[in-house]
Amino acid sequence: MKNLKIFELLDKNLGFSKNITISDGQYGRGIFVINNMESAKIFLPTELLIDSSKINLSNNYNLELENSHRVTKNIKEFYVHYFKYYGFNKNTKIEIDNFYNEMRSLSSILQEYLLFYFSNFVFNKSFDKIDYLKIYLNSRQISQNKKNYFMPIIELINHSLSGLTYNLYPKGLSIEGSFQNEVFANYSRHIDSFEFFKNYKIFSKQIKVFSCKLQIKHIDKKILIERNFNEYKIVDNLKVPIIAIINKIAFITHLDLIMLKNNSNYREYICNQLKKLDLNEQSILKFYNQLIEFNRLHLNKIYDQSIKEKSQISLQIKNIAEHQIKMIGTHS
């Protein structure tokens, strides 16, 4: 009854669903087709895509809309029902705690290696309500114009590399396609396997490989590489990092190693930016090669150490490192 009710409330808010139901399957709760001979579709109008910053977590670990965030009676009714039956609960808190406790149980050596990809937050933080909410929402929202929006119902869809892509329009968000049984979405094609693991707590064979965080002294210059994937710009239809040159230091928001090896336009853009450090093309090419080799060696350290630890979480980390090593090696 609760599943029928949420779809009724979706219709009431000018959204709609076609040929889908909410059920449990191999990957836990998910969205499934009713008839695999027909396509499935979900549409959420813009009004139901709530700004994530307007969602709070109560002292009892229940989700609620901020009192100051005014919505229609129908939207409020939708979210009260959705948060009650599909939102954050004590089991969600336990799952988050279990994941981060496993991460903290890794050896200090492996944690040190992983800090090249993750922040201290992953290993050293005791969480408060704001942290739990941030972790929860991080994997259940979509970004537009540098704002994050919670996507009810659609967030219940599980991930597959061959899954559907979210379609974001001025009038709302939709997802549509044909499936034999469970509906799958591809959560992101724009991040690598380490970032995917941090966000979604599972291993996915992503097609991207970004450099680890690095501070490099190259000749008499300094190059700082971060892993800030939301900081980018579009140049000639190419997604490139933001690079700032200040006092002989280059600050680079992220570097895509696969693009660096294979895409001459991407490589040329990075080269032109680094020339502002008074580096010539030969020294920049040397920097590229050294950067890729450093990443390869560091991934091998993670791979070797994670094998020694023989825990469930270290096995996932081993798989990530192994995949990224192969990706760097096969793209040349």
Distance CA 102, CA 120 (A): 15
Structure token pair of residue 83: 């948060």
* 69 CB neighbour count, 10 Å cutoff: 14
pLDDT given at position 1 = 64
pTM over the 0.85 mark: yes
Please indicate, yes or no, if residue 27 is contained in any of the structural domains: yes
Structure token pair of residue 305: 């150490």
3 pLDDT band, cuts 50/70/90, is confident
pLDDT given at position 67 = 84
Task: Give the tens place of pLDDT for each residue, 128-138.
Answer: 999 999 999 99
Q: Tell me, yes or no, whether 105 and 155 share the same domain.
A: yes
Please indicate, yes or no, if residue 202 is contained in any of the structural domains: no
CB 251 within 8 A of CB 224: yes
Task: Give the tens place of pLDDT for each residue, 15-41.
Answer: 999 999 999 999 999 999 999 999 999
What kind and span of H or E run contains 123? Answer: helix 121-124
Distance CA 145, CA 94 (A): 33
Task: Give the tens place of pLDDT for each residue, 281-321.
Answer: 999 999 999 999 999 999 999 999 999 998 999 999 999 99
Q: Tell me, yes or no, whether 68 and 28 share the same domain.
A: yes
Structure token pair of residue 274: 């680094």
Q: Tell me, yes or no, whether 251 and 182 share the same domain.
A: no
Helices within 42-152 (DSSP H only): 73-86, 90-104, 108-114, 121-124, 129-138
Query: Mean of the pLDDT values across residues 177-191?
Result: 95
Structure token pair of residue 89: 């609960």
pLDDT given at position 330 = 58
331 pLDDT band, cuts 50/70/90, is very low
Query: Mean of the pLDDT values across residues 47-51?
Result: 96
Please indicate, yes or no, if residue 39 is contained in any of the structural domains: yes
Residue 219 has pLDDT above 80, yes or no: no
Please indicate, yes or no, if residue 224 is contained in any of the structural domains: yes
Q: Tell me, yes or no, whether 6 and 87 share the same domain.
A: yes
Q: Tell me, yes or no, whether 243 and 164 share the same domain.
A: no
pLDDT given at position 332 = 42
How many domains does one find in the chain? 2
pLDDT given at position 146 = 79
Q: Tell me, yes or no, whether 89 and 21 share the same domain.
A: yes
Q: Tell me, yes or no, whether 7 and 107 share the same domain.
A: yes
Q: Tell me, yes or no, whether 175 and 224 share the same domain.
A: no
Q: Tell me, yes or no, whether 12 and 158 share the same domain.
A: yes
71 CB-contact burial (10 Å; exposed 0-12 / middle 13-18 / buried 19+):
middle
Please indicate, yes or no, if residue 203 is contained in any of the structural domains: no
Q: Tell me, yes or no, whether 57 and 17 share the same domain.
A: yes
Q: Tell me, yes or no, whether 223 and 181 share the same domain.
A: no
CB 106 within 8 A of CB 311: yes
Please indicate, yes or no, if residue 192 is contained in any of the structural domains: no
Domain that holds residue 263: 214-330
Please provide the average confidence, as pLDDT, over all residues in the chain. 94
Q: Tell me, yes or no, whether 21 and 163 share the same domain.
A: yes
Instruction: Look at residue 176 and give its three-state secondary structure.
Output: strand
Please indicate, yes or no, if residue 28 is contained in any of the structural domains: yes
Query: Mean of the pLDDT values across residues 163-188?
Result: 95
